[in-house]
Amino acid sequence: MKYLMGIVASESEAIDGIAITNEDQIGIKHAAFSVYTAGNAYFEEGNDMVELLGNTLPGKNNNTGWGIDFGANYIINKRLSVSAAVNDLGYINWKSDTKQYQFNPVDYSFEGFEVLQVINI
């Protein structure tokens, strides 16, 4: 058995996009998507790292769960055995510092410009 304490997690849904570059254009296109995070205060400016690391101690972090590893070994004869294992079977409930970021769809294309039009000749 294992007692788990999550520090940082990130998950996204259905990111789909394309980037096009050639001599005629530069284009970027992607659909709207969401990113879910927990415990990412480590990456925000101005946070006290000593305090944040102290919050990972037992009892100070709400991102907790349980895990288990188990396995078996069967000896067929002196020279042959068979083993199997399941590792890291468990969960973490992400409750502390959870956030959701929404990204709008983008459809951008740049096809260049005429230098003579910019300088008005």
For residue 55, the enclosing domain spans 2-64+93-118
Span 95-121, average pLDDT: 79
With cut-offs at 50, 70 and 90, classify the pLDDT of residue 73. Answer: very high
- For residue 30, is it within any domain? yes
- For residue 69, is it within any domain? no
Whether the pTM exceeds 0.85: the reply is no
- For residue 88, is it within any domain? no
- For residue 57, is it within any domain? yes
Rounded to a whole number of angstroms, the CA Rg of the chain reads: 25
Q: Which of 49-53, 69-73, 110-114 has the highest mean pLDDT?
A: 69-73
- For residue 70, is it within any domain? no
- For residue 58, is it within any domain? yes
Q: How much is the pLDDT for 34?
A: 83
- For residue 81, is it within any domain? no
With cut-offs at 50, 70 and 90, classify the pLDDT of residue 40. Answer: low
Amino acid at 95: K
Say if residues 103 and 36 touch (Cβ distance below 8 Å). Answer: no
- For residue 52, is it within any domain? yes
With cut-offs at 50, 70 and 90, classify the pLDDT of residue 83. Answer: very high
Q: How much is the pLDDT for 67?
A: 95
Cα–Cα distance for residue pair 35/18, rounded to 1 Å: 18
| Number of structural domains the chain divides into | 1
Say if residues 27 and 19 touch (Cβ distance below 8 Å). Answer: yes
